[in-house]
């Protein structure tokens, strides 16, 4: 049984991280275990921005997006010296284990820290991209997808009024999950993702035919990894002559009050992480499989690439 653990968020923020921190903290306290918060990701670990938390420290945060601990990208942590300093700062406080909430990069860093120092680490997937291998869900993906759908709904109104084609660029450098689920649920005509090649000429020919047949307007959702929105929009305008506009959602997708799904899932994952870590488990990530919380080997999670469910690709082709 561990007697003292720490929790931190790292890398890109995502809505629901606060619910996860809260669950880790309150579960640990409930078990009579000390819990520390590390501010600003691995930066805080290296710069000793570490404080002991009580239940009230995580009051009034479950409804907030972002992460009240702050997050960061930290170059120093990518060096062995940096990680040793971080480890020393934890040991000096009697911290025996760590919960890291973050994306692929943060979990990779956590895996290396645990290998090098032997400190027990449990990871939680926190990223809007839903691209952590082994889990069908990552904290924040549901809120982000809902933010995009809201934008699509609004863009459809104006696209319809003007008979326009609208290209919406959404986040997803390496993963098309967000574009895919929001495109499908927003009724987009075309969804471009990095996982699948597309032929812009073919798309444009198809668009012209649809427009001539009476289609009022069209929505194209493009993940940033599949092409820049303005380039896709320019190509469409040039090749089809259709009145085309481009929107880019940017960081709006990262923020906002988390949805019920993100709050509940993050809370469940946080509880599992704290209990597992306290019981002495290490090098695992908790995620979801078919609606159930499952543990995934941390090494496997960071060394495998999650693929986009082919069912989405098929569905998008049929419905759009
Ligand atoms: P995310 O966790 O959202 O994928 P990043 O990829 O930027 O975000 O990673 C966040 C931080 O995790 C990095 O700034 C760095 O401190 C740490 N990190 C990422 N990759 C590694 C690595 N290969 N080795 C050590 N630390 C890493």
- 262-280: pLDDT as tens digits: 999 999 999 999 999 999 9
CA of 259 to the centre of ligand 1 (A): 26
What is the distance between the alpha carbons of residues 293 and 194, in angstroms, rounded to a whole number? 28
pLDDT at 287 over 90: yes
Confidence at residue 256, expressed as pLDDT on a 0 to 100 scale: 97
Whether 52 maps to a domain, the answer reads yes
294 and 174 co-located in one domain = no
169 and 224 co-located in one domain = yes
- The range of the structural domain enclosing residue 269 comes to 4-140+258-305
Query: How many domains would you assign to the chain?
Result: 2
Count of other CB atoms within 10 angstroms of residue 87: 19
pTM above 0.85, yes or no: yes
pLDDT band at 289 (very low <50, low <70, confident <90, very high): very high
Whether 45 maps to a domain, the answer reads yes
136 and 172 co-located in one domain = no
The CATH number of whichever domain residue 181 belongs to comes to: 3.40.50.460
- Surface-to-core class of residue 248, CB atoms within 10 Å of its CB (0-12 exposed, 13-18 middle, 19+ buried): middle
φ/ψ of 207, rounded to 5, equals: -65, -45
> Which tokens in the block code for residue 300?
């496997």
pLDDT at 320 over 90: no
Angle between helical axes of 141-162 and 260-278 (0-180°, round to 10): 160
Q: State the alpha helices, DSSP H only, in 163-244.
A: 177-186, 200-212, 229-240
Whether 17 maps to a domain, the answer reads yes
- 40-89: pLDDT as tens digits: 999 999 999 999 999 999 999 999 999 999 999 999 999 999 999 999 99
Q: Is the backbone of residue 66 left (phi > 0), alpha (psi -120 to 50) or beta? A: left
- Tokens 């084609």 appear where? 165
Residues with CB under 6 A from ligand 1: 10-12, 42, 73-74, 77-78, 102-106, 108-109, 112, 127
21 and 154 co-located in one domain = no
- 11-26: pLDDT as tens digits: 999 999 999 999 999 9
- 108-145: pLDDT as tens digits: 999 999 999 999 999 999 999 999 999 999 999 999 99
Contact call for residues 49 and 43 (beta carbons, < 8 A): yes
- Tokens 């709006």 appear where? 252
Q: Which of 254, 269, 292 is the last residue of a domain?
A: 254
The CATH number of whichever domain residue 58 belongs to comes to: 3.40.50.450
CA of 192 to the centre of ligand 1 (A): 27
Please report, for the chain, how many H helices and E strands are present, in that order: 11, 11
| CA-atom Rg of the chain in angstroms | 22
Confidence at residue 234, expressed as pLDDT on a 0 to 100 scale: 98
Separation of CA 266 from chain center: 12
Catalytic sites, residue numbers: 129
Q: Regarding beta strands 50-52 and 34-38, do their DSSP bridges make them parallel or antiparallel, or are they unpaired?
A: antiparallel
Whether 123 maps to a domain, the answer reads yes
- Surface-to-core class of residue 239, CB atoms within 10 Å of its CB (0-12 exposed, 13-18 middle, 19+ buried): middle
Residue of minimum CA distance from atom 19 in ligand 1:
105
72 and 194 co-located in one domain = no
What is the distance between the alpha carbons of residues 124 and 272, in angstroms, rounded to a whole number? 10
Whether 318 maps to a domain, the answer reads no
Separation of CA 70 from chain center: 15
36 and 121 co-located in one domain = yes
Whether 314 maps to a domain, the answer reads no
CA of 53 to the centre of ligand 1 (A): 25
């Amino acid at each position: 049984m561990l007697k003292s653990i720490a929790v931190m968020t790292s890398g890109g923020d995502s809505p629901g991280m606060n619910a996860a921190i809260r669950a880790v903290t309150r579960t640990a306290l409930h078990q009579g275990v000390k819990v520390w918060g590390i501010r600003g990701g691995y930066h805080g670990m290296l710069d000793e921005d570490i404080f002991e938390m009580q239940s009230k420290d995580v009051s009034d945060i479950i409804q907030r997006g972002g992460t009240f601990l702050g997050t960061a990208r930290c170059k120093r942590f990518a060096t062995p010296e940096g990680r040793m300093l971080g480890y020393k700062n934890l040991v000096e406080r009697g911290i025996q284990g760590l919960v890291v909430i973050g994306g692929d990069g943060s979990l990779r860093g956590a895996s290396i820290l645990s290998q090098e120092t032997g400190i027990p680490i449990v990871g939680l997937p926190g990223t809007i991209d839903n691209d952590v291998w082994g889990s069908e869900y990552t904290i924040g993906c549901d809120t982000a997808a809902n933010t995009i759908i809201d934008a699509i709904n609004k863009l459809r109104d104006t696209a319809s009024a003007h008979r326009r084609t609208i290209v919406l660029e959404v986040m997803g450098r390496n993963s098309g999950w967000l574009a895919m689920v929001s495109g499908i649920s927003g009724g987009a005509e075309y969804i471009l993702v990095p996982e699948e090649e597309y032929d812009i000429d073919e798309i444009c020919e198809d668009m012209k035919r649809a427009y001539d047949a009476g289609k009022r307007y069209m929505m194209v959702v493009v993940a940033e990894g599949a092409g820049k929105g303005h380039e896709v929009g320019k190509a469409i305008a040039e090749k089809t002559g259709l009145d085309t506009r481009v929107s880019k959602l940017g960081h709006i997708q990262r923020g906002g009050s988390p949805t019920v799904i993100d709050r509940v899932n993050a809370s469940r994952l946080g509880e599992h992480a704290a209990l597992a870590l306290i019981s002495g488990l290490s090098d695992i990530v908790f995620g979801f499989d078919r609606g159930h919380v499952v543990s995934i080997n941390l090494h496997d999670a960071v060394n495998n690439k999650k693929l986009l469910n082919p069912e989405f690709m098929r569905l998008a082709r049929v419905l759009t």
